[in-house]
Structure formats: structure tokens, C-alpha cells
Structure 1
Amino acid sequence: MIETERLILRPHILADFEELLAVSNDPEVMQFITHGAQATRQDVWNKLLRNIGHWTALGHGVFAVVDRQSGRYVGDTGLADFHRDLGDDFDPFPEAAWVFARHGHGKGYATEAAHAAHRWFDAERGARRTVCIIDPDNAASIGVARKLGYNQYGETEYKGDHVLKFERLP
């Protein structure tokens, strides 16, 4: 568990399912990830189990992020291995991710939480190159990436969508 001034980052638990389902089906939140397509309960259940399993299999993964004061779930962030099959310049490296509920937008939660997750990862796993992909129209996420030290190094197609490839060097 990691604590910041306003947030708690912890591995996911099964009780996160309904909140994760709500975020995964919010068209505004998912507009740049799934283009607003609805996720089934099965899809979200598998995502939750994937998030939990990362910790067991790899010793790191995606954290659930909760507000320290209210205890309310606000999103996810962390570094994982999603096996995206995007090539040798991407796949072998830990991939950063962040997705936040609409009620967490515009508060700096993504940057605060992702910074904490990256600091933890660097301390636990050693500073190394990390990567992420972002929809070119997602200015907010690109802004978070830049604040974390990511720079664009390429472009590619992922599941039929054009995405930008970013890297963060140690």
C-alpha cells in the first residue's frame, strides 16, 4: 500500500468489482480507450482478476486508487505487462496505465497517483525504461504522461486504433 497526501494506492480486491464496472462503462471515461463501447460484466471481472493476478505473478501491477478521506474508489494506476504485441521497442518493457473515474477528473489525482506508483516501481524494481500508449486526442492523458517524464517516440495501431507510443527513460 502507498499513501500520498490525498490518496491510497493498493492492489485490487474483489470488492472493487462494482466500482471498476461503473468506470469501465462510463462513456466519458472510456472515450479514448474503448471509444465508449460498453464492457460486459465478464470483461470487467476478467480485468479485475488480471489486475489481482499481476501482483501474484509479477510482484507489481495496477493499483486501485482510493480517496484517503472518503475511502471512495477513484481509479487505477500502475505498471503492468499487458502483452499487447506492439513490437520489441514496447512489449519487453513495463507499461504504465492510469484510468480515473469521472468524479476524480480535474483534481490532479492521476498525476499524484501515477507519480507515487512510478516511485514505488523504481524503488522496488529498479529504474528502467517504461512505456505507455495514448490516443492522440487524449490531451489530458498526454499531459499526465509528460508530467511523469514520458516522451513520444513513435506511433502504431492497436486494436484498429491509432495510438502514440511514449517512453520514460531512467
Structure 2
Amino acid sequence: MEIPVIDTARLRLRGHYPSDLGPYLAMWQQPAFYQHLTGKPMPEEEVWTKLLRHLGVWYLCGYGFWAIEEKATGDFIGAVGFGEWQRNLTPSIKGFPEVGWVLAPHAHGQGYALEAAQAALAWGDAYLPVARTVCLVDIGNLASLRLAAKVGYQEIERVLYKDISVVLLERFAPAQLS
């Protein structure tokens, strides 16, 4: 399977490279990055496993996560895409691609997350096997909740996932709204 490359005005969404490990590991050591994800730093072994998951879901599901590369510098600054994580959650979201995005703290506030999310969702609207996608956001992550709303996600309900309060949101591809 060849992972599609998506170019936006300022970003390139691409499959992960082994060289992404260093900058991704550095992100996972910053409280501003992990506070709404795991609440703690992630060791190298787990970050590597996360990169492998991002790639592997492409091969199992036909969709997955892209690395976000800043075109001006060529730097890896985050990840965006869709997963199927088999979460033990009520209501069940199994079978629905789960969108997600993470961005290095130094890249916050520049509109990169919106640009990347819009590009990923445009691809998803054209190629995902179902019209509905879902999103889980930590209840305290106001920036991600605002971004989710900007790209069309609506809250379904608030649930506990692994003892963390999260907002479960959904979005339907625009062609399916009528």
C-alpha cells in the first residue's frame, strides 16, 4: 500500500520515516504536548510503537495517520489522520475511523492544525469506506475541541475512557448530509 502524500499551502502530509522518531520523542517529553494525551511523557519504545501503529493502520484499514511536515523547513511537526483503535468504549465507535491530530508545541497558534485537519478530512471524505468519522478529545483540551468544531465535529456525549473524561464527537462527510 502506498500512503498518499497531500500537499497544502504550508504543509506536506506523508507517511512516517524512521527519522521522525527523534522529533516525535522530543514532543512526547514536553508537558504542553502530552498533558491532554497521556498526562505523562512517553518513552522511546512507546513512541516508536506509536509510529508503527500510524503506519500499520494504513495496511489493515486502507487509511491511517500522516506525518505533518512543515514545507518551509522540512521539519516533522506532528501527525494527523484516522485510526481504528478497537477502543473499549460505550457507546462503541468500532468500525468508524477515528480522526486525530497532534502538533509540536512550537508549531501551535499558526493555523497548522486546522490546515492539516482540513486536508486529512478532505481526503477522508473522498476515500474512507464510511461517511461517519468520530473523534475523542480530552474534556480540558479546549484548543482541540475548538478545532474539532471548526472542521465540522459535533458532540455526541461525554464519556470516561481509561478514567479520563473525554468528549466523543462525530462528523459526517458533506455528501452524506442530505
TM-score range, shorter chain: over 0.9
The answer on 1:38 being equivalent to 2:41 is yes
Q: Which of 107, 115, 119 is residue 116 of structure 1 equivalent to?
A: 119
The answer on 1:6 being equivalent to 2:10 is yes
TM-score, normalised on structure 2? 0.90
Give the aligned partner of residue 27 of structure 2. Answer: 23
C-alpha distance in 2, partners of 1:32/1:150? 18
Q: Give the aligned length.
A: 169
RMSD over equivalenced CA pairs, Å: 1.3
What secondary structure sits across from 1:137 in the alignment?
Answer: coil
Give the aligned partner of residue 160 of structure 1. Answer: 163
The answer on 1:80 being equivalent to 2:83 is yes
Contact in 1 for aligned 2:96/2:130 (Cα 8 Å): no
TM-score, normalised on structure 1? 0.94
Deviation per CA, 1:105-160: give whole Å up to 9, x if none.
00111110011001011112256110011111111000110011001011111111
Deviation per CA, 1:43-77: give whole Å up to 9, x if none.
11111111111122222101100111110111110
C-alpha distance in 1, partners of 2:44/2:77? 19
Return the offset for 1:87.
Answer: 3.4
Return the offset for 1:88.
Answer: 4.8
Structure 2: runs of 5+ lacking an equivalent: 174-178
C-alpha distance in 2, partners of 1:13/1:54? 15
Amino acid of the structure 1 residue aligned with 2:78: G
Give the aligned partner of residue 102 of structure 1. Answer: 105
Identity between Structure 1 and Structure 2 (%): 39
Matches within 5 A, 1:65-76: 65-76=68-79
Structure 1: runs of 5+ lacking an equivalent: none
